[in-house]
Structure 1
Amino acid sequence: MDALGELPLRGLLRGPREVLFGAGTRASVPAATARLGRRALVVTDPRLGADRATGQLVDGLRAAGLAVAVHDRAAPELPVEDGAALAEEARRHGADVLVGFGGGSCMDLAKVVAVLLAHGGTPQDYYGEDRVPGPVAPVVAVPTTAGTGSEVTPVAVVTDAERATKVGISSRHLVPHTAVVDPELAITCPPSVTAAAGADALAHCVEAFTAVRRRVDELDGARVFVGRGVLTDHWALLGVRHVARHLRRCVEVPDDLEARSGMALAALAGGMAFGTAGTAGAHAVQYPVGALTRTPHGTGVGLLLPYVMAFVAPVVGDRLREVAEALGVPEAQRTGPDAGSVRAVADLVAAIGIPRTLAELGVGADDLPALAAASMSARRLVENSPRELDEAAALRLLRAAHAGDLAVDGQEVGAASGDTEGAA
């Protein structure tokens, strides 16, 4: 048997050498870092640079015997030129270990610097899949948001103004050596950032679970992202369940540690899932949409996710039934070609403030053909779609997202799930 998600069971999974998870685990960062080097560069952003938690981290690293430099200027939607500039700072410091402390941009910047310290050149030299020739400087990744999953993934995403889009550097060598996930660090995360990050985590889980399934001979490591398998499926559904339980609560009650812990686990699970399986259409289309509208990545993928789910439903309807169950959609409402999953996701992301249509982001109807063409440049994402995603299909998808049309090939999607918060 070789049906979707059925026997023979097979899969591939990549991840850090160590993952520490739970409230208070940030206290382990100095010892974990000291095992990897003697001269640490902490990469964070301006808001966190002024936060007491960063001072405590730096004091702890110095008490562990490390020479520490701090870069607290990491920018959102990581500009590619920042990687080369910071690599020069790191060389002057003699850095032999990086600590990425913050959101996805901070951790991705640390990854890019780790590549350049080991192999030289510029970030542009490593665009695409599997172009990093060997091991890089070790990275300890400490997320302060719950979304990107960058603490466990083999990719760093940068914004390249010359290409007017985001570009990924993907390599198994980019997986951080150690991930320390302390949900307490996210308590001060603003609600809008929590919402966008959480929507990103959900997209990682759903797209990894519905990604193309490749032949067994394609799991040999030639690709960084190999499509779904039994190992990534486990992490993806775990992540969906925790998003359904905890995301709205995190946005509405930021200091709820139980909710923050649930979303930290959801983001970690999403990273473990897509770090091997990969993502697909929502991410491919968001890259040019984000560049055009200058909106956060998570906002774009959260908006686009239900439309992408509707697009792939004809070929992965059974998978979307499992997603609907994980989201807490009652069995009686798991109807239609998507089993109610599309409407449940659309309602969940709208409930946390994500716009429902591209028009609400300021995208004009005349922009859609160019966006569809630009979406095709992210080949690793396009090729991971379970349903063929060519330029014409991307344009249909964009038009649906612009108009708010959630139909599956003309068929109405399943009934709304109601409130998914607290769902099992």
Structure 2
Amino acid sequence: MTSLFGLSRLPRNLVFGRGQRAALPGYVAALGRRALLVTDERMAADAEFRRMADGLIAAGVAVEIYSGTVAELPVDSIAEALVAARRAQAEVVVGIGGGSCIDAAKIVALLSAHGGQPADYYGEFKVPGPILPLVAVPTTAGTGSEVTPVAVVSDPERAVKVGIASPHLVPHTSICDPELTYSCPPGLTAVSGADALTHAIEAFTTLRQPASGTIAHEHVFVGKNIFSDRYALDAVRLIFASLKAAYDHGDDIEARDRLMLGSTLAGLAFGVAGTAAAHAVQYPVGALTHTPHGAGVAVMLPYVMEFNRSHAEPEMAELALAMGLDVAHLDQAGRAGAAIDAVAALFASIGIPPTIRDLGVPEDRLDWTAEAAMGAARLVKNNPRPLDVPSMTRLVRAAFTGDRVGLRAGV
């Protein structure tokens, strides 16, 4: 019998619900009197953002706004945000927006506290201590960055995106108000929601590591455990029941609410369990194609599930039940197969391409893609089925040709 082990790393305050953005001034004012707001141009021009900023000012907080965050977070943009933080003498950093905005806020809070360059902290456990107090307000339902210990940037000196992972990066306070997602267009809803579902499924099927007494200090992402499993299963239930509805009908308030809750729960799951091969392959795929992160992991997920099926079949069978599939008449293998097919069908219904060829990956870069994916050690080590360069190459080629069946064990 597997011994019970769980680890959870949470924001000190995690607030969820419609209208809860009104709680922002109270939390920020308790942390400092000078705040840097990190966002992007689109959000900075939104009337609701202005109301949030005005609420902080009314609470006695001096506000500086940095609105230069761009998608996929080029590392050079962090320097500009850091200048703004120093100019403001910021005592607290507030990230308002999608995952890139929140990740930028994390790195600004890190560098404000400890100095140096982002590259000084690439990898796990490189952050030496607490960062500047950080408040996260997500406006998309996807990345889960509001509750995770990682920030990811695009560095031109690296072939693929790179992460900074430390428990110190978990925000002090996260305010998840689904009303802020209601204006997300269908395309953004699709790739963000697909990203969240991938987080939940990879967290639930990731490798269960031996639970030594020091595992929490040796790994930021400790693998599958009793807490991450609960978060992941609830996330799958919520996202699977709401993503297509939110994509088809952006004004479906209940679907929007459930999708955001699912995204946050998925973040709580993978924030300690980690993700695996789908995310590892997305890094080079994203570098080659400049497509959204959520699209890349979603294209890969059915292939990764098929590849991992022999090593995680009980978990995939359980996922079928969480998805609400009619599988009572099927055995474990049948349920696992139904779960994989259902993921592929859901993603197709919201416009996710079926192969990485459709994302624009050239055939002559497939070997490079596999080798680069193996470089994401913190992701590869979590995969339930062991990976090496030949098996990763097989996985990548199957995702290029669309051959899921050929990935099954022994084929």
Q: TM-score, normalised by structure 2?
A: 0.97
- From 314, 318, 326, the counterpart of 1:318: 314
- Does structure 1 conserve the Cα–Cα contact (< 8 Å) formed by 2:395 and 2:407? no
Q: Which amino acid aligns with 1:303?
A: V
Contact 2:398 2:406 in 1 (8 A): no
In the aligned structure 1, how far is the partner of 2:17 from the partner of 2:275? 26
Shift of residue 364 of structure 1?
2.2
Q: Map 1:71-86; keep pairs closer than 5 Å.
A: 71-86=66-81
Tell me the CA shift for residue 333 of structure 1.
Answer: 5.4
How far apart, in 1, do the equivalents of 2:387 and 2:325 lie? 28
Tell me how far apart the structure 2 counterparts of residues 339 and 404 of structure 1 sit (CA, whole Å).
16
Contact 2:64 / 2:84 at 8 angstroms: preserved in 1?
A: no
Q: In 1, distance between residues paired with 2:37 and 2:234?
A: 31
Matches within 5 A, 1:96-245: 96-217=91-212, 219-245=215-241
Give, in angstroms, the shift of residue 336 of structure 1.
3.6
Moved over 3 A (4+): 332-337, 408-413
Aligned AA for 2:210? Answer: R
Q: Counterpart of 2:218 in 1: which secondary structure?
A: coil
1:66 correspondence with 2:61: yes
Match of 1:247 in 2: 243
Opposite residue 183 of structure 1, the aligned amino acid is P
8 Å CA contact 2:282, 2:297 repeated in 1: yes
Map of 1:359 onto structure 2 = 357
2:281 maps to which residue?
A: 285
Tell which deviates more after alignment, 341-350 or 328-337: 328-337
Equivalent position of 1:399 in the other structure: 397
- Cα distance in 1 for partners of 2:408, 2:143 equals 33
How far apart, in 2, do the equivalents of 1:94 and 1:410 lie? 56
Q: Distance in 1 between matches of 2:408 and 2:249?
A: 39
The equivalences for 1:244-283 within 5 A come to 244-283=240-279
Residues in 1 aligned to 2:337 and 2:324: alpha-carbon distance in whole angstroms: 12
2:231 partner amino acid: W
Query: SS at 2:129's partner residue?
Result: coil
Deviation at 1:337, TM superposition (A): 7.8
2:234 maps to amino acid: L
Residue 5 of structure 1 is matched in structure 2 by: none
Change (3 A) 1:206 1:311: same
Task: Give, as a single letter, the amino acid of the residue that structure 2 aligns with 1:315.
Answer: H
Structure 2: gaps (5+ residues): none
Confirm whether residue 378 of structure 1 aligns to residue 376 of structure 2: yes
Q: What are the ranges of 5 or more consecutive residues in structure 1 without an aligned counterpart?
A: 3-7, 414-424
User: Quick check: 1:139–1:177 contact (8 Å CA) kept in 2?
Assistant: yes
Deviations 1:111-160 (A, max 9, x none): 00000000000001000001000000011100000000000000001011
The alpha carbon displacement at 1:408 in A equals: 6.1
Residue of structure 2 equivalent to 1:422:
none
1:289 aligned partner, one-letter code: V
Shift of 1:85: 2.5
Equivalent-residue separation in structure 1 for 2:297 and 2:175 (angstroms): 25
| 1:311-349 C-alpha deviation (Å, 9 max, x unpaired) | 111011000001111112211356548341111101111
Q: Deviations over 1:179-238 (max 9, x none)?
A: 100000001111111100000000100010011111111533221110010010000000
CA distance in 2, matches of 1:111, 1:101: 11
Aligned-pair distance for 1:257? 1.3
Residue identity in the other structure for 1:250: A
Structure 2: how far apart are the matches of 1:264 and 1:62?
A: 28
Find the aligned partners of 2:183 and 2:120 in 1 and give their Cα distance.
36
Deviation at 1:241, TM superposition (A): 0.5
- How high is the sequence identity, in percent, across the aligned residues? 52
- Asked if the contact 1:84/1:123 (under 8 Å) is kept, the reply is no
Alpha carbons 1:313, 1:337 under 8 Å: kept: no
SS of 2:37 mapped into structure 1: strand
When the two structures are superposed, what TM-score results if normalisation uses the length of structure 1?
Answer: 0.94
Q: Once the 2 structures are TM-superposed, how far is the Cα of residue 84 of structure 1 from its aligned partner?
A: 2.4
Could you give the per-residue CA deviations for residues 364-388 of structure 1, whole angstroms, max 9, x where no partner exists?
2211000001111111001111111
Contact kept in structure 2, 1:11 and 1:219, CA below 8 Å? no
The CA RMSD measured in Å over matched residues stands at: 1.5
The structure with more helix, counted as a fraction of residues: 2
